[in-house]
Amino acid sequence: MRPSTRAAVLLTATAATAVAARRLVAARKEPPADRIGRTHAVTVERPYDELDGQELPDPLRELGDAVTVELREAPGDRGTEIHVRRVDDRVRAGDVRRALREAR
Amino acid sequence: MTCGSDLHLLGGYIPFMEKGDVLGHEFAGEIVEVGPDVKAHRVGDRVVVSFIACGKCHYCHRREFSLCDNTNTNPAITESLWGHAVGGCFGYSHALGGNAGSHAEYVRVPFADIGAFTIPDAVSEERALFASDSASTGWMGADLGGVRPGHVVAVWGAGAVGQMAARAAILLGAERVVVIDRLDYRLRQVEKFVGAETLDFERTNIHEELRELSGGRGPDVCIEAVGMEAQSSPYDKVKQQLRLQTDRPTAVREAVHACAKGGSVFVLGVFAGFVDKFPLGAMMNKGLTVRGAQMHGQRYIPMLLDRMARDELTTEHLATHTMPLTEAAEGYRLFKEKEDDCVRAVFLPSSSS
């Protein structure tokens, strides 16, 4: 094998090893945001009592029964936390995050 | 006692050690002799000792004792490295004064009225030992990081300092405290002895988890208790070995990225020089306060000893390996390699053969 060919093979092997290693590490971690049952949350500057029992903002209401929504009083007088949990794959995690951003 | 920052010295990351230097900066013991200017202590007192500070300079008056102007006897080194000299420290290389450390039968304590504290009768030496550095460093991270009731606090590193920072955050009223590490036995200690939640960074996306458990906000205070030899990508390790960066700032990067807008990041882990890929954009645009310090032990030790006497702060579980000083090399090996569930190795000079 000529040196340049050898170098190319070595580079390719190194790159492949690096990719494989990255995938291995990624596989060990649970998928960050798109796991069913994963909770996504935002905090809004509104008192819990003011939001509890109110109709949800449109972006969250439009997700329908593909999600469950829970309100919690945020600690430290920070307002209210809105926690949204996907119950199945009718909506994607990105849709939930987008709805939360718009609802805020 | 071993400390993670001693590993930086042993590993050559802080290149100001000389043959014959004595390590050790976290210690407690009995006074066998006092100098003529010592008024607060007598022979026979049990004491725990902090870093070296004069008690009279501007910085000591501001209770920033590790910044003491008068106790680093080699100020030129750190003036070149960091622009100014910081205070002196036991057993921490000639950059911090070249003072002989505590891995010895006897240690000379300069400014003993300022830096040595009598251990209350109700507190064992084993417990008080951790007030010397681990607990005071951890408390400083929570205190100067600005932990308040209602805060969500994340701590990177489940070693002794990280555990003490988490405990401090709980005692200061934080709503949720989460400690991040990869070593299961240390995370179990956090849950059992500290009372904080845990995350394993090898199994979890830390940024996602911290965001969701804080209601989407991110932690109000992020405390880094890892330092310059953090578990890192090959990229960072290679750059450090090639001296293209002196420190591996993995946990600092993650803390800055995860921190809530307007939040605070406190760097407790020891760093020596320069880092690469510091997320300055995140820091600036999110309006973060980023601070760090060597610990101002004198500021906290009396309060910590009181809390130890009331059992609010317990540390015995951290001393996983107690051994004669003659076995210090093995103690450091266990500590460095994280073998046998080692958190800290404590050396007893009196049991040396």
Which chain A residues touch B if contact means CB-CB below 8 Å?
18, 28-30, 32-33, 38-43, 72, 74-78, 81-83, 100
What burial class does residue B46 get, using C-beta atoms within 10 Å of its C-beta: 0-12 exposed, 13-18 middle, 19+ buried? middle
Please tell me whether residues A44 and A93 are part of one structural domain: yes
Q: What pLDDT does B243 receive?
A: 67
Q: Which domain holds residue A48?
A: 39-103
Please tell me whether residues A45 and A83 are part of one structural domain: yes
pLDDT in tens, B288-323: 999 999 999 999 999 999 999 999 999 999 999 999
Say yes or no to pLDDT of A86 above 90: yes
Q: What pLDDT does B11 receive?
A: 84
pLDDT in tens, B70-105: 999 999 999 999 999 999 999 999 999 999 999 999
Q: Which residue in A has a C-alpha nearest to residue B234's C-alpha?
A: A18
Please tell me whether residues A45 and A95 are part of one structural domain: yes
Average pLDDT value over all residues in chain B: 94
What burial class does residue B15 get, using C-beta atoms within 10 Å of its C-beta: 0-12 exposed, 13-18 middle, 19+ buried? exposed
Q: Which residues contact B78 (CB under 8 A, 6 or more apart)?
A: B72, B84, B85, B86, B95, B96
Please tell me whether residues A95 and A52 are part of one structural domain: yes
Q: What pLDDT does B248 receive?
A: 74
Structure tokens at B142: 């929570």
Please tell me whether residues A7 and A45 are part of one structural domain: no
Q: What pLDDT does B249 receive?
A: 85
What is the pTM assigned to this prediction? 0.89
Chain-centroid distance of CA B7 in Å reads 13
> Can you tell me which residue has the tokens 């969701």?
B212
pLDDT class of B244 with cuts at 50, 70, 90? low
Please tell me whether residues A53 and A99 are part of one structural domain: yes
Domains of chain B with CATH codes: 4-133+296-351 (3.90.180.10), 138-292 (3.40.50.720)
Of B304, B76, B2, B39, nearest in space to B168 by CA = B304
Which chain B residues touch A if contact means CB-CB below 8 Å?
148-152, 175-176, 202-205, 207-208, 211-212, 214-217, 220, 234
Give the three-class secondary structure for B31. Answer: coil
Q: Could you tell me how many CB contacts below 8 A there are between chain A and chain B?
A: 53
Please tell me whether residues A53 and A98 are part of one structural domain: yes
Judged by average pLDDT, the poorest of A70-79, B236-245, B278-287, B313-322 is B236-245
Distance from CA of A5 to the nearest CA of B (A): 25
Mean pLDDT of B239-265: 86
Say yes or no to pLDDT of B193 above 60: yes
Please tell me whether residues A18 and A44 are part of one structural domain: no
Q: Which residues contact A71 (CB under 8 A, 6 or more apart)?
A: A48, A51, A52, A80, A81, A82, A83
pLDDT in tens, A26-62: 444 545 567 788 899 999 999 999 998 888 899 999 9
Whether residue A76 and residue B149 make contact (CB cut-off 8 A), yes or no, is yes
Average pLDDT value over all residues in chain A: 79
Please tell me whether residues A25 and A43 are part of one structural domain: no
Please tell me whether residues A48 and A91 are part of one structural domain: yes
Q: A32 with A97: CB under 8 angstroms?
A: no
Distance from CA of A23 to the nearest CA of B (A): 13
Q: What pLDDT does B172 receive?
A: 98
Distance from CA of A6 to the nearest CA of B (A): 23
Q: What pLDDT does B353 receive?
A: 44
Count of alpha carbons within 13 angstroms of residue B12, beta-carbon side: 3
Say yes or no to pLDDT of B120 above 80: yes
Of A30, A43, A72, the CB nearest to B217: A43
Please tell me whether residues A53 and A26 are part of one structural domain: no
Say yes or no to pLDDT of A23 above 90: no
Please tell me whether residues A21 and A43 are part of one structural domain: no
Distance from CA of A95 to the nearest CA of B (A): 15
pLDDT in tens, B29-54: 999 999 999 999 999 999 999 999 99
pLDDT class of A101 with cuts at 50, 70, 90? very high
Structural domain count of chain A: 2
Mean pLDDT of B244-249: 72
pLDDT class of A21 with cuts at 50, 70, 90? very low
Whether residue B216 and residue A100 make contact (CB cut-off 8 A), yes or no, is yes
